[in-house]
Amino acid sequence: MRIYNWNQLSRDEQRILLKRPASSSSAELQSGTREILADVHERGDQALIEMTARFDKVELQSLRVPPPKIQAALENLEPITREALEMARDNIERFHRQQLPRRIEIPTLSGIRCFREARPIERVGFYIPGGTAPLPSTVLMLGVPSHIAENPLRILCSPPQADGEINKIVLATAALCGIDQVYRVGGAQAIAAMAFGTDSIPKVDKIFGPGNAWVTEAKQQVASHPEGAAIDMPAGPSEVLVIADDEANPIFVAADLLSQAEHGPDSQVILITTSEGLAKQCLGALDRLLQKLPRREIAAQALMNSRCFVVPDIQTAVEISDTYAPEHLILQIYEPEVWARRLKNAGSVFLGAYSPESAGDYATGTNHVLPTYGHARAWSGLSLESFLKHITFQHLSREGLAAIGPAVEQLARLEGLEAHRLAVSVRLRPEEQ
């Protein structure tokens, strides 16, 4: 992780150094994913079983995990683990329950009432990766708000382990969230199954959850398929940007950077500081702490794509951060809440020395499914509204239509849509029928 003096860089150098690692969506990945989706669409369960044998080296007799096995996983949890999961679940529920939308109703003119109401998305599907570590926290981040939203159908897919079963912590967390439809299938084929449906796995309307490059590509493709499903958001590798002043604790900063670097070799971490001395202290702390990590090889690879910038002031740091639009932003600076009000682009922000990003990943109550790869310029992280849709309504009396009718008819004439005009005129002037 190199240190750069921001003001000594040209504009082109600044732009290049802020670039994220190249996306892994190659032509080969796109075509391979397309083939998987087509196979699952055509052959359903049989394709899933064959792909699980080929990709996961597991021979399955059935895809669904029996509900009693899901409940047993929860009952067999050690108490300290269950307590931690329940604390996280309760905080997530408290925060997300406050996001319940209110009904909006307004008379726009006399005789015209417009209103807007929320409805739960009927069928939602969650993808929970297998990989090198289980992700019960992601089950909570999807399962808790969907429970509050009262989505009628909730299913979960996750790849089987070598023994043919899904990780017991993932199963237990599903039970904790009231999810009893869990399926042993992973990768792009799981996304296809949820998007198109099979004999065993019901089709859903929207798919949530992170995954590798194949899962990400599959989500993008099914979102544009006429028989597919909506998705939560565009996704990329995890990332964090830390802004630190000369009073920041270099050990805290280094630990925050490593907490994202250990996610994967394509993760990116960036430090922006007003102090070159602090920058050097942080790099030294990174080297020391890195040696303590079981995933140090992964974190070390991520640090190869990472940067440290020394800037003249916090205002410059905030401007760089807004340009980068990080998934996670940590402000270890004096008066962080004052500076937070000036921010424009970030997925989730952590204020002050005692607000590590990992707290939000697990248990503060905010949602950790966030836009990456610069998408925070236009996308929000998951919220309760991600599991709802809104419908608008209008009710017009004859007097209301009379008040608005001439304007509607004129606008219809301007657009050359005679039937639109006619739908008004036959109501107001029956003699023209």
Q: Which residue numbers are catalytic?
A: 327-328
- Contact yes or no for 355/255 (Cβ under 8 A): no
Q: Which residues contact 240 (CB under 8 A, 6 or more apart)?
A: 256, 257, 259, 260, 269, 270, 326, 327, 328, 329, 330, 357
Give the three-state DSSP class for 330. strand
**In residues, how long is the chain?**
433
What would the DSSP string read from start to end of 38-79?
Answer: HHHHHHTHHHHHHHHHHHS----S-SEEPHHHHHHHHHTS-H
Determine the angle formed by the axes of helices 250-261 and 296-304, rounding to 10 degrees: 100
Signed CA dihedral, 334, 335, 337, 339: sign only: negative
Sequence-ordered alpha helix ranges (H) in 265-356? 276-290, 296-304, 314-324, 336-340
- Contact yes or no for 135/264 (Cβ under 8 A): no
Can you tell me the distance from the alpha carbon of 389 to that of 94, in angstroms, rounded to the nearest whole number?
Answer: 21
Instruction: Look up residue 132 and give its two tokens.
Output: 């090198």
Instruction: Look up residue 314 and give its two tokens.
Output: 């916090």
Name the strand (E) or helix (H) holding 291.
none
- Contact yes or no for 194/127 (Cβ under 8 A): yes
- Contact yes or no for 283/251 (Cβ under 8 A): no
Residue 116 region by backbone torsions, left for phi larger than 0, else alpha for psi between -120 and 50, else beta: beta
Give the three-state DSSP class for 120. strand
Q: Which residue has the tokens 């997530």?
A: 92
- Contact yes or no for 208/382 (Cβ under 8 A): yes
Name the strand (E) or helix (H) holding 351.
strand 348-351
